Amino acid sequence: MKRLTTGLVTLALLSWAAGCQRGNQTSSDKPTVALVLKTLNNPFFIDMKKGAEDAATRLGATLIVQAAEREVDVDKQMQIIENLIQSKVSALCVTPSGSKEVVPAIVKANRAGIPVVIVDTRVDSQALKQAGGQVAGFIGSDNFEGGKLAGEFIVKRLGGKGKVAILEGIPGHETGDSRLKGFHSALEGHPDIQVVASQTANWERDQGYNVFQNILQSHPDVQALFACSDLMALGAVEAIASAKKTGTIVVVGFDAFSEAREAVQKGTMDATIAQSPYEMGSRAVENAYRLLKGEKVEEDISVKIQLVSR
Amino acid sequence: MRLKEYVLHHGRQFGTLFGLLLLSGILWALTPYFLTVSNLLNVAEQTAIVAIIAVGMTFVIITAGIDLSVGSVLAFSGIVMASALQAGAPLVLGLAAGLGAGLVCGLVNGLLITGGRLPPFIATLGMMSVARGAALMFTEGRPVSGFSESFRSIATGEVLGIPFPVIVMVAVYIAAHMVLTRTRLGRYAYAIGGNEEATLLSGVSVKTYKTAVYGLCGMLSGLAAIILTARLNSAQPIAGIMYELDAIAATVIGGTSLMGGEGNVFGTLIGALIMGVLRNGLNLLGISSFAQQIVIGSVIIIAVLFDMALKRGKR
């Protein structure tokens, strides 16, 4: 009897959860495109989801959006992709949680004959080749270029001389690594610009706060900060405020989501690099759709990137 | 008649199994993709890692303890093994290094609890941080990836269509069941969880057996690390975060009492499968990941609520 009640409650929960989907279950001839994001608790990916949804509505495709609870959970992302393969989606768009770790999942999709469009973070091409996997295309920003823009901005603001700190993303993430490389490339030829600290805050806001607070303890004279994401930059902005140093440190973030743009307007941040997650999401779904129609798509699409400052 | 007695005696397990079947039935009714051989194998493969960790957790919880460090120990063991393999160690040696690293972490937990008289919660909470930090420091935060085909076949290989990880999982459960029911380690684990004082007074070396149980739990985390690393072709220092909670949930859904002294591994297997099936089903149905978390959390709470009501009814 009690088990029956458990079952009924579970059934109720399931149907409620299914109801949350506003009935976009697979209908007969509409192609189903699945978008697997790193996470849904970051405004960047929410914008991407919005772009994908709008494109799906425009094209008349069914869209399923799934994400792991944590951005770095590569195994959970693989499970989601495996499960979507089982539910026979027509095409997959994936923002890899790990450039190498996503490869086995891509191979599984290949075997099931499902085209995979990669968005935002590149797949490690060597690992992909070794595993004999294939992707149908890449859509994302030129992160190296973005990092370089940030570096040039800081060099200009400091007049070619000063102490700089960096908040890195998770090491081994292609996006963060490219931004970092781009940033360092802009500092070349400016020997008076000194990077005094470069530490990871794991893409997270609270860690951005703590790590930068610690950097301020050891380097109270730091003049500029480059954070590889806005979330980390905004965390650092709070740390700067609590140290009563607002306005004395040049802060440059990356992503330009709305809260960071406001911070730039207010002057608590100096600049951020604008990517276009909305466009990435929309073009990913478009390309997946065109692939399903048998059309050719560009293999590597760079979405525009620009510096936003006041 | 004997069948009836058997069912009555093992009523708790049948209840959980019934829950799993009911859940599967519901999913079968809701989506045509659930009840296919390839999807069921897919679920079993996805469940294997947490299910293997949960075996160790079941032993620990039966002794009325807890091990919060399993996820971090998994990451640490994975890194140790991956580094050994990348340094050119032969396959067997690499695997032994992974299992050994897990075993050592587990034994340290056990010694801190028995020798240092720390509460298990505190000792393993400390280990959770130490092992994670060690894994991160060792690799400077970077994943260690790219392994030989023979190593990868631990996850990609199959026998008669059944993936290796599933076979390993089943073997671990059978072995664990034997240990729990037919050896001293198993009997004393129940005794320690039931009444540690009395077990000690009856001349059992409680310290030794307790330490062994934590060592076993650590080693199983090492085994899970091997499978996870082979599956992703990469060992990550940030792997396994929150796996301790999945393992505890599987154990508790499976009917093992957090107060110690009772429980069995097959219940835990069903508990792990319930969570695996639930996640799989919610993905198949295309349900938003936010709603998924609510559903999974609710099912854990409901399962344990009814379990407790069932036990109260019996008394």
pLDDT in tens, A78-120: 999 999 999 999 999 999 998 899 999 999 999 999 999 999 9
**Contact (Cβ atoms closer than 8 angstroms) between residue B96 and residue B107:** no
Distance CA B260, CA A272 (A): 54
Q: Which residues of A touch B293 (CB under 8 A)?
A: 69
Q: Does B42 touch chain A (CB under 8 A)?
A: yes
DSSP lists the bridge partners of residue A116 as A92
Percent of residues, chain A, with pLDDT higher than 90:
66
Percent helix, percent strand, percent coil in chain B, to nearest 5: 75, 5, 20
Q: How confident is the model at residue B19 (pLDDT cuts 50, 70, 90)?
A: confident
Given this model, what pLDDT does residue A25 score? 44
pLDDT at B6 > cutoff 70: no
Q: How confident is the model at residue B293 (pLDDT cuts 50, 70, 90)?
A: confident
Q: Which residues of B touch A3 (CB under 8 A)?
A: 15, 18-19, 22, 306
Range list of β-strands (E), chain B: 144-145, 158-159, 162-163, 234-235
Q: Which residues of A touch B283 (CB under 8 A)?
A: 66, 79-80, 83-84, 87
Q: Can you say whether the dihedral through the CA atoms of B124, B125, B128, B129 is positive or negative?
A: negative
A278 CB contacts (<8 Å, ≥6 apart)? Answer: A47, A48, A50, A51
**pLDDT tens-digit map of B226-275:** 999 998 888 989 899 889 999 999 999 888 988 889 899 999 999 999 99
Ranges of residues in chain A with a pLDDT under 50 are: 1-2, 21-27
Closest CB to A100: pick one of B233, B286, B294: B233
Q: Does B148 touch chain A (CB under 8 A)?
A: no
Given this model, what pLDDT does residue A228 score? 95
**pLDDT tens-digit map of A180-201:** 999 999 999 899 999 999 998 9
Given this model, what pLDDT does residue B205 score? 92
Q: Which residues of B touch A131 (CB under 8 A)?
A: 233
Closest CB to A14: pick one of B26, B38, B239: B26
A238 CB contacts (<8 Å, ≥6 apart)? Answer: A209
| Exposure string over B62-88, b if 16+ CB within 10 A, otherwise e | bbbbbbbbbbbbbbbbbbbbbbbbeee
Q: Does B30 touch chain A (CB under 8 A)?
A: yes
Average pLDDT over residues B22-26: 90
Range list of β-strands (E), B201-277: 234-235
Given this model, what pLDDT does residue B7 score? 54
**pLDDT tens-digit map of B178-220:** 999 999 999 999 999 999 999 999 999 999 999 999 999 999 9
- Does the distance separating the beta carbons of A20 and B291 come in below 8 Å? yes
Closest CB to A87: pick one of B33, B239, B291: B33
**Contact (Cβ atoms closer than 8 angstroms) between residue A121 and residue A173:** yes
Average pLDDT over residues B299-314: 74
Q: Can you say whether the dihedral through the CA atoms of A99, B292, A84, A48 is positive or negative?
A: negative
Given this model, what pLDDT does residue A51 score? 95
Nearest CA in chain A to B278: A14
Count of beta carbons in the 10 Å neighbourhood of residue A302: 12
- Does the distance separating the beta carbons of B306 and A5 come in below 8 Å? yes
Given this model, what pLDDT does residue A37 score? 94
**pLDDT tens-digit map of B119-168:** 999 999 999 999 999 999 998 878 888 888 899 999 888 888 899 999 99
Q: Which residues of A touch B289 (CB under 8 A)?
A: 40, 66-69
Nearest CA in chain A to B44: A79
- φ, ψ of residue A263 in degrees (nearest 5): -60, -35
Please spell the DSSP secondary structure of B28-61, one letter per residue.
HHH-TTSSSHHHHHHHHHHHHHHHHHHHHHHHHH
The interface residues of chain B toward chain A in range 219-278, judged by CB-CB distance below 8 A, are 228, 231-234, 236, 238-239, 241-242
B33 CB contacts (<8 Å, ≥6 apart)? Answer: A86, A87, A88, B39, B284
DSSP lists the bridge partners of residue A219 as none
**Contact (Cβ atoms closer than 8 angstroms) between residue A251 and residue A240:** yes
- Does the distance separating the beta carbons of B294 and A73 come in below 8 Å? no
Percent of residues, chain B, with pLDDT higher than 90:
61
Query: Residue B178: what residue type?
Result: M
- Does the distance separating the beta carbons of A14 and B285 come in below 8 Å? yes
**Contact (Cβ atoms closer than 8 angstroms) between residue A49 and residue A40:** yes
ipTM, two decimals, is 0.78
Closest alpha carbon to B175 in B133, B219, B134, B210: B219
Nearest CA in chain A to B305: A6
Nearest CA in chain B to A68: B289
Closest CB to A6: pick one of B49, B294, B302: B302
Q: How confident is the model at residue B10 (pLDDT cuts 50, 70, 90)?
A: low
Q: Does B37 touch chain A (CB under 8 A)?
A: no
**Contact (Cβ atoms closer than 8 angstroms) between residue A102 and residue A79:** no
Average pLDDT over residues B293-307: 82
Closest alpha carbon to B21 in A84, A18, A3, A16: A3
Tokens of B194: 């039931």
Q: How confident is the model at residue B1 (pLDDT cuts 50, 70, 90)?
A: very low
Nearest-CA distance from A244 to chain B in Å? 32
DSSP H/E element including A137: strand A137-141
Given this model, what pLDDT does residue A44 score? 87
Q: Does B153 touch chain A (CB under 8 A)?
A: no
Q: Which residues of A touch B299 (CB under 8 A)?
A: 10, 13
Q: Which residues of B touch A87 (CB under 8 A)?
A: 31, 33, 283-284, 286
**Contact (Cβ atoms closer than 8 angstroms) between residue B295 and residue B283:** no
Count of beta carbons in the 10 Å neighbourhood of residue B194: 17
Distance CA A149, CA A166 (A): 15
A268 CB contacts (<8 Å, ≥6 apart)? Answer: A237, A240, A241, A246, A251
Nearest-CA distance from B181 to chain A in Å? 27
Please spell the DSSP secondary structure of A60-126, one letter per residue.
T-EEEEEE-SSTT-HHHHHHHHHHHHHTT-SEEEE--SSTTTTHHHHHHHHHTT--EEEESS---HH
Nearest-CA distance from B49 to chain A in Å? 10
Tokens of A296: 């050719």
**pLDDT tens-digit map of B28-80:** 999 888 898 888 998 999 999 999 999 999 999 999 999 999 999 999 999 99
Q: Can you say whether the dihedral through the CA atoms of A185, A186, A188, A189 is positive or negative?
A: positive
Give the side-chain half-sphere CA count within 13 A for A4. Answer: 1
Given this model, what pLDDT does residue A12 score? 63
Angle at B173 between CA B170 and CA B179, to 5 degrees: 145
**Contact (Cβ atoms closer than 8 angstroms) between residue A197 and residue A191:** no
